[in-house]
Amino acid sequence: MAMKRKLNNAVVTALGLGITIGIAVIIAVILMVIFSKEPAKTMYYFFLGPFSNRYYLGNMLNSSIPLIFTGLGIAVAFKSSVFNLGGEGQIYAGALITTAVCLALPGFNGVLGGVLALAAGMLSGALLAGLSGYFRMKWGTDLLISSFLISSAVVLIINFFITGPLDDPASSLLATPKIAEQYRLLQIFKPSKLDISIFFSLLAAGLIYFLMYYTHRGYEMRMCGQNREFARYGGVKVSTYLLLPMVLSGALHGLGGGLSIMGTHYMALKEVTFGMGWNGIAVALIAMNNPLGVIPAAIFFAYLDAGAKTAMLHSDVTFEIAAIIQSVIFYLVTARAIYSFVRKRRRRIIL
């Protein structure tokens, strides 16, 4: 009976999401007809442009990689009923620290040095998020406020290092020097930027799903997420799950930032990860905090972004119009996801 109810809920949720996407697409088409002098061409490049050649397709998939990691980080936190709004600073810190380690070891073995750099990036994200979790555990500090404020301060500090001590004077960009060749991840879909970190993101999603649904720790995290008082009476050390999910969430953000440097940018540019932390929240909401659902949700987000850029390049729509069309689709889908998320939480509280 429980399995049947769960299946019915999944079908209803999927149907609702499908209807929402359909309505959003209709509205987008109407906007294109209104604002474009060549709406058929605009629609083609917006909806099919990302699949029109290897370059566009590969870059679309590549841009989904950091979104998968930030989406996973947020999903872990939300599933445990802790709230990490510091993703912007955590992924940015992971990018900078990974770059700094690679630059500090220019002649080191690529594999060992790369693992060390990514581990340092993960640690930086974990420490930043864990700090908020520790404050919550120790003094009851609000996680939303502390994670956001720490992130905001960290972004400014990182900007200082990129434009100051680590700035490359030989470059016209506000960026660090490029990392050595041996640290750069293998590209697998040329001429696009898609690299092997796409497989790391899929592996990470599988591992997080296994952790959350097939381990004792994951069960306790989900129990705390559904009802913290019930978990406490059941013998769970609830304070642990104020800290552990935040640490794991920050580590995933940091790893996403590090891989974006080693796979795509090869240097830490100012604001290189801008928006990825916030976008990760939306991705997790669309995925309903399911680690495996994060993958299609991130690809969907990357598809909208790629479609808007392709339409701007090949038709008469401006950046503003493309952004409006993209936002209409995305916000309607996100709103539907938020509604379902809140409805489920209210139902659990009532029960």
CATH number for the domain that contains residue 340? 1.10.3470
Query: Are residues 67 and 130 in contact, defined by beta-carbon separation less than 8 angstroms?
Result: no
Query: Are residues 250 and 73 in contact, defined by beta-carbon separation less than 8 angstroms?
Result: yes
Query: Are residues 251 and 126 in contact, defined by beta-carbon separation less than 8 angstroms?
Result: yes
Q: Residues, the chain, total?
A: 351
Tokens 């930086």, residue? 124
One-letter identity of residue 31: L
Residue 225 lies in a domain: yes
Residue 257 lies in a domain: yes
Residue 105 lies in a domain: yes
Tell me if residue 269 falls in helix, strand or coil: strand
Residue 308 lies in a domain: yes
pLDDT tops 90 at residue 165: yes
Provide the mean pLDDT of the chain.
Answer: 89
Between vectors from CA 328 to CA 326 and to CA 330, what angle results, nearest 5°? Answer: 65
Q: What pLDDT was estimated at residue 114?
A: 97
Residue 38 lies in a domain: no
d(CA 247, CA 252): 9
Query: Are residues 253 and 69 in contact, defined by beta-carbon separation less than 8 angstroms?
Result: yes
- Could you tell me the two tokens for 74? 């947020």
- With pLDDT > 90 as the criterion, what percentage of the chain qualifies? 66
DSSP 8-state secondary structure symbol assigned to residue 350: H
Total of domains in the chain: 1
Residue 136 lies in a domain: yes
For 212-248, the pLDDT digits (tens) are: 999 999 999 999 988 888 899 888 989 899 999 999 9
For 110-154, the pLDDT digits (tens) are: 999 999 999 999 999 999 999 999 999 999 999 999 999 999 999
Q: Which domain holds residue 206?
A: 53-350
Q: What pLDDT was estimated at residue 340?
A: 59
Between vectors from CA 88 to CA 174 and to CA 124, what angle results, nearest 5°? Answer: 85
Residue 80 lies in a domain: yes
Omega before residue 66 within 30° of 0, cis? no
Residue 43 lies in a domain: no
